[in-house]
Each structure stands twice: as C-alpha cells, then as structure tokens.
Amino acid sequence: MSKRLNKYLSETGYCSRREADRLIAAGDVIVNGEVATIGRKVEPEDAILVRGEPVTRKESFVYLALNKPRGVTSTTDLKDPSNVIDFVGYPSRIFPIGRLDKDSEGLLLLTSDGDIVNKILRSGNNHEKEYVVDVNKPITSLFLKQMREGVEILGKITKPAVLRQQSKTRFKIILTEGMNRQIRRMCSALGYRVTSLVRIRIMSVHVDGLALGEWRHLRADEVATLRAETQHSGKAI
C-alpha cells in the first residue's frame, strides 16, 4: 500500500514528518535512484536513501525524558554546539518532541517514533503541557484573567489556559498549544518579564525524580499511556 514519503520516514523512526519534508526539499532523499519531491508516494518495496543511507523500519522505538538545563537547544542540528542530541549522547537516532527554549529548563521528551511526535505536537489535539513560571513583578488579578482567557501574540489569540498562582511572582500554567516562546510572549504582551520557566509535565509524563541535566527511558506503562492518549489524535500536517 502506497503512502506519502514524509509519512513513511516518520513511521520508520528516521525523523519527524516536518524534518522529512525539509530533507526532501533539500534533495537529500533518493527513491529508487531518483531524487524525491514533496508529495511523493512510496511502496513498501521501494529503495529509499537519506543522505546516502538506506532507511528501514525499526523494530522498536526509543522514548526518553530529559530534564533539560538552560543553555541546551532543542535542535537536531549538530552544527549548533548546544544541540540537545550531543548533550544526551544517545547511541541511536532520536529527536525532540517539540521544543523548549534555550533559556528555559525542564521536561523534554525525545524519541525515534516520528508518528507519535506528530500526534503530540498538533495543537488541535489539546495535549497538555504544564509549566512553573516566575516573573519580575507582583502578579495581579487582571494578569491572571488575561492569561487564562487568551493573549494576542504573533497575530493570534492564544487558547484559554489553566493558571494557578503560587506566590506573589510565581504561577503554574497548563497550555494545550505550543507557539514559539509562547509563555514569554504572553507575559511580555501584558508588561511582565519571565525570569524563570520550567516545564514540569507533558501529558501524563512528569519531570519528578529527574535531576537537572539527567535523562531516563520512559517506563513501559508511561509509553502505553502516551500511546493511549494519542490513539485517536490527528497528526500534524
């Protein structure tokens, strides 16, 4: 049964679907001796090379949880000296599920399962991510209200969020979308500056028990729960 090339590469665990599209656009993917184009469909018996290496379906996937420190960049670009791949040093190919700003810390999931990456990242699936945030001045009731109801950033209004104030300058927030530097931009739009941002949860996976800079394999029950939570999720385009 034929399927789109980017979807095939994602399902093999080689990379995410977005990264597959970038590789195809760059001319780095060869199918049956021909340079592939965006939208190309492939069959199971097709010979596929990415940057000269054959791509085959993996028997099992890797799922890791990292407590990312500040200064590490959520990128697979090995030319970036602060890239998360070199920081983790895992012996086989993995990539981060989404991103966490270089100047933020906390939970980052990494995997070789490109299919689950697409399901988790798509905003329409409403998968939760929880953060602890410190700001530079006392939080007001108006600030909490505006953050909960939505703030205009990057030309759109953010989705409603769950907020709980922790102290005069600290709050917890649960988001179901992942716009670029979203929390920092939301706070800035309301006249606040984020001084510390820590992600403590992605869906059912918590950062608890991981020291800053440490990583671990997800437990079998955590993987099973993630798969169940994304079973009926649509995939990112």
The CATH number covering residue 96 comes to 3.30.70.580
Would 197 be classed as within a structural domain? Answer: yes
Neighbours of 32 (CB within 10 A): 12
- 209 versus 117: the higher-pLDDT residue is 209
- 18 versus 203: the higher-pLDDT residue is 203
Count of domains observed in the chain? 3
> For residue 33, what are the contacts with CB-CB under 8 A and spacing of at least 6?
47
Would 87 be classed as within a structural domain? Answer: yes
Last residue of a domain, one of 54, 74, 95: 54
The DSSP call for residue 138 is -
**Residue 123 above 80 pLDDT?**
no
| Backbone phi and psi for residue 57, each to the nearest 5 degrees, phi listed first | -70, 135
Query: Which pLDDT score, from 0 to 100, does residue 230 have?
Result: 80
Task: Tell which residue, 84, 93, 91, 97, has the closest CA to residue 112.
Answer: 93
**Residue 236 above 50 pLDDT?**
no
**Residue 89 above 60 pLDDT?**
yes
What integer is the mean pLDDT of 140-151? Answer: 98
Determine if residue 27 is left, alpha or beta; phi over 0 gives left, psi from -120 to 50 gives alpha, anything else beta.
left
**Residue 148 above 50 pLDDT?**
yes
Q: Which of 21, 28, 77, 101 is catalytic?
A: 101
Per-residue confidence band for 122, with pLDDT thresholds at 50, 70 and 90 = low
What integer is the mean pLDDT of 23-30? Answer: 93
Instruction: Give the span between the Cα atoms of 135 and 129, in whole angstroms.
Output: 19
For the record, the structure tokens of 25 come out as: 């656009």
For the record, the structure tokens of 128 come out as: 């939760």
- 122 versus 107: the higher-pLDDT residue is 107
Known catalytic membership, residue 101: yes
Task: Tell which residue, 168, 125, 124, 122, has the closest CA to residue 143.
Answer: 168
Q: pLDDT tens digit string along 212-231?
A: 999 999 988 898 888 888 87
Query: Which pLDDT score, from 0 to 100, does residue 229 have?
Result: 82
Residue 6's identity, in one-letter code, is N
Instruction: Give the span between the Cα atoms of 46 and 107, in whole angstroms.
Output: 38
Quick check: 73 and 82 in contact, CB under 8 A? yes
For the record, the structure tokens of 117 come out as: 């990456």
Q: Which domain holds residue 79?
A: 63-122+204-230
Within this chain, do residues 156 and 181 fall inside the same structural domain, yes or no?
A: yes
Query: Which pLDDT score, from 0 to 100, does residue 59 have?
Result: 54
CATH assignment at residue 157 = 3.30.70.1560
Would 235 be classed as within a structural domain? Answer: no
Within this chain, do residues 101 and 216 fall inside the same structural domain, yes or no?
A: yes
State the average pLDDT for the chain: 90
Helical H segments across the chain, by residue range: 5-12, 17-25, 84-88, 114-121, 141-149, 182-189, 220-230
> For residue 16, what are the contacts with CB-CB under 8 A and spacing of at least 6?
10, 95, 114, 117, 118
Query: Which pLDDT score, from 0 to 100, does residue 102 have?
Result: 95
Within this chain, do residues 81 and 113 fall inside the same structural domain, yes or no?
A: yes
Would 145 be classed as within a structural domain? Answer: yes
